[in-house]
Structure 1
Amino acid sequence: MIIGLEQYKEKWNIQTDTAIHPGLEAITAALDEVGNPHKVGKFIHLAGTNGKGSTATFLSSILQAHGYSVGNFYSPCIEDLHDQIQLNGNPISPIELDHIMQQLSHLKTPLTDFELLTLAALLVFKEHQPDFAIIEAGMGGALDSTNVIIPEIAIIPSISMDHTNFLGNSIEEITRHKAGIIKKWQPVAIGKLPVKSINIIRETANMLHADIIRPKDLGNVELKLKGPHQLENASLAMEAAKEVLGQNFNEEQAIKGLSSANLAYRFEEVFPGVIFDGAHNKASAEALVKTVKELYPDHSVHVVMGILKDKDYINVLRELETISDRFTFLDFENERALAAEKLLLECAIKRKTILKNNDILPVYEKHTVTLVTGSLYLLSLLRNDNYSFFRHYQD
């Protein structure tokens, strides 16, 4: 049985707002109520459009390879609520999260769902005191509820157009939100960013006396996470590890950590020829297309897609149409999900269909790769349903 946030809220009579309300006033007041757990421990903070989860996983693996304990707060969940909060790669148990939610049931400050989860993660890390806690911003940076910490280093892997209804309609506006995680005298590591973004980050960093760290070429390091963009994320994690570990950094241990790092739904082959990847904006779709061309150059591609309506689904479609002549669209259970019918109408490919409820997806075809993509929420639902729409393949 999957236990979601709603069950905890109902059990402990916690009232939260499911909408997004950027700002730090509520989270700051709530933190004060529970003893300011964000002031204890060493934090690493990530913001960016794509690559946060992969970079955080690489960095966590490097640090653990050096013998350090690591906490992670991911956004969104990978499979269910509990894996958003991890200790040394293990999701928090329902028993422990229940204990934390009981403590939070006494809060007087009204919070959103994400603010509640942020607070829960910080309480877990205060209780377990990992050597490092790696915190991933939910959206933006400056006004994200995670931006209450003072990190050892801030990391911004990428910046592109996303969440424009909250962050603005230009790269400059979005960058200013992401740059909000940079703190005075603390370094910031950045990936391959647009020139306009680099200029804004340089301006912010100079004002705050923060050093800017750029990734270097890793060379021939074998990674479980596939695609050239993952080499960039791994390099960024390596440079961040050098910064936070100083003289304790060991390159051999770092490479060992990088090589063992893995994360669900990042070009993950769940069955032979069936790839799950959570590409949900233009930049991540571009990276996905590049990886498919590199690893499956002689295969036809069948795209299976479901996506949230607040994502840039038109540009995601346009990118995927460059490698596929066959699309199947899915409806899935999420209040933000875009109707499959809308995707069908927008898709420019002639060979397209909608997979109805309880239908089985025929995926076992020679020289064909099936790409299931569009939303991490969709991929999580499919995995938790034990891939039931792949039964034909498994049989």
Structure 2
Amino acid sequence: MPRLLWHTPAMRTTFSSFAQVIAHLDARGFFHMELGLERMERALARLFPVRPPLVCVQVLGTNGKGSTAAFLDSLARSHGLRTGLYTSPHFVSPAERIRLDGVPLPEDDWPALADEVHAACPELTYFEFLTVLALLAFVRHGVELAVLEAGLGGRHDATTACPADALCYAPIALDHAAILGPTLTDIAADKAAAIRTAAPVVSAPQFPAARAALEAAAAARGASLLFVGPLPPAVPLGLAGPHQRINAAVALAAWRALAPRFGHPAPPASAAPTPAEADGLARAFIAGRLHSLPACEAHPPLLLDGAHNPHGMQALARHLRQMGRAPRCAVFSCLADKDWLPAARLLQRELGDIPLLVPQLHNERAADASAVAAACNAGRSRPTARAVPDVANALAAARDILPAGPDAAAPVVLCGSLYLLAEFFSLFPHYLTAPAPGLPEVRA
């Protein structure tokens, strides 16, 4: 990877190590939010008096933002572009959030970048600081296409302050209702408010209230709005699950809208993927989204997924049915401030009498594992859920549970919270990167 080329005058050094940058971020408060784009706009104006020389795509929605962003990043790289990918949250280290050509931004680059960001606006929140740092890193490394995943909502999200050349909308559903509003109409209106110019908008199919919000926002700005259907089953994808066919279709349509800017022809919307497009779709990778791992000495076969709300859990359930075999058990955990019970009930309905292990998460917001297990067992003639001390204990217990049928490869499903996956990846960090070398296993 090329080293940074600095174009700014010398300044006082605030950060001398990656650890110092992370300590500063932690002091800002991981969950602390201050609504408004004023700080972001001030920082970007100071760092970039002239608009940065890169094409920027903002990805919004509720479920599927990260996958859509991963597909678009992979599509651009398959056409020879230098890419920057900004996603959230991270599992183990914030370095996961900022990727250059699919590789995390080197820790050695963080202090100098952070110095510039801090000098531009010391008041930035955790997420704002990372967003500006990502954009600065992309400019310094000569990125041609930057893909920015929104963190929460759209109206006040830090990524909305970055001028977008296209916007992608994954499916919008109920989530973060305490912040964005109690109804789907409120939530969709907040996310649609990211449409601030005539830049093209591509969307997955939406519930009527969400569709209406996007249509109104696009019309107000004179932006084209394209709703796409799923890619056909014959197109191989690097990410598993039938719902990924929608996410891939959104990414493909966005790529085709931007391709001429990079000297690539744009096939008609209905055309089958070109060889380069097919390669990009098949190589897409993101950890923790229907992420299959074979058995090893440390754990049985696993299926990891970040499903934590009903919409995500329904997608997981469809994939489990499509697998054609029942999992041997499931590991489910959640945060207390989330409306987790509907998702847990959907998972139990899919599992039937298959065991459900509930580890206690090491997080101040974590739900009590015993209370979760009791709620899952309530009203059932045969209790299936039981609390365990932590993720390591859950994996050990799962290893001792025999598959319901003769299939020894029946996986253990880990789902319910990204923080559950974070504790898993802290035990097995090598699973955070795409299989290498060459093409990863192509999934349905």
- TM-score relative to the length of structure 1: 0.90
Please tell me whether the aligned partners of residues 329 and 398 of structure 2 are also in contact (alpha carbons under 8 angstroms). no
Check 1:10–1:118 CA distance in 2 against 1; reply closer, same or farther (3 A cut).
closer
Structure 2 partner of 1:390: none
Structure 1 partner of 2:344: 317
Q: Distance in 2 between matches of 1:239 and 1:14?
A: 37
SS of the residue corresponding to residue 321 of structure 2 reads helix
Deviations 1:45-90 (A, max 9, x none): 0110011111111111111111111101001114421110001100
Shift of 1:339: 2.2
Check 1:64–1:108 CA distance in 2 against 1; reply closer, same or farther (3 A cut).
closer
Aligned CA RMSD, in angstroms, stands at 2.4
Shift of 1:162: 0.3
Q: Distance in 2 between matches of 1:32 and 1:125?
A: 16
Please tell me whether the aligned partners of residues 43 and 117 of structure 2 are also in contact (alpha carbons under 8 angstroms). no
Please tell me whether the aligned partners of residues 18 and 110 of structure 2 are also in contact (alpha carbons under 8 angstroms). no
Check 1:245–1:7 CA distance in 2 against 1; reply closer, same or farther (3 A cut).
same
Of 303, 307, 310, the residue aligned with 2:330 is: 303
What are the equivalent positions in structure 2 for 1:1-20 lying under 5 Å apart? 7-9=19-21, 16-18=28-30, 19-20=32-33
Of 371, 376, 385, the residue aligned with 1:342 is: 371
> Is 1:355 aligned to residue 388 of structure 2?
yes
- Aligned AA (2:221): L
Structure 1 partner of 2:181: 168
Q: Distance in 2 between matches of 1:327 and 1:194?
A: 32
Structure 1 partner of 2:265: 248
Of 283, 298, 314, the residue aligned with 1:286 is: 314
Q: Distance in 2 between matches of 1:374 and 1:14?
A: 25
Of 329, 347, 355, the residue aligned with 2:358 is: 329
Pick which of 238-247 and 80-89 moved more.
Answer: 238-247
Q: Distance in 2 between matches of 1:185 and 1:112?
A: 29
Q: Distance in 2 between matches of 1:131 and 1:376?
A: 30
SS of the residue corresponding to residue 140 of structure 2 reads helix
Deviations 1:304-330 (A, max 9, x none): 012222322011101101112321111
Q: Distance in 2 between matches of 1:160 and 1:11?
A: 34
Please tell me whether the aligned partners of residues 71 and 86 of structure 1 are also in contact (alpha carbons under 8 angstroms). yes
Pick which of 358-367 and 107-116 moved more.
Answer: 358-367
Structure 2 partner of 1:392: none
- Aligned AA (1:341): S
Structure 1 partner of 2:250: 236
Give structure 1 stretches of 5+ with no counterpart.
Answer: 388-395
What are the equivalent positions in structure 2 for 1:208-223 lying under 5 Å apart? 208-219=221-232, 220-223=234-237
SS of the residue corresponding to residue 97 of structure 1 reads helix
> Is 1:153 aligned to residue 153 of structure 2?
no
Deviations 1:324-370 (A, max 9, x none): 23211112222332221231122135111111146333336334431
> Is 1:76 aligned to residue 89 of structure 2?
yes
- TM-score relative to the length of structure 2: 0.81
Of 282, 285, 288, the residue aligned with 1:265 is: 288
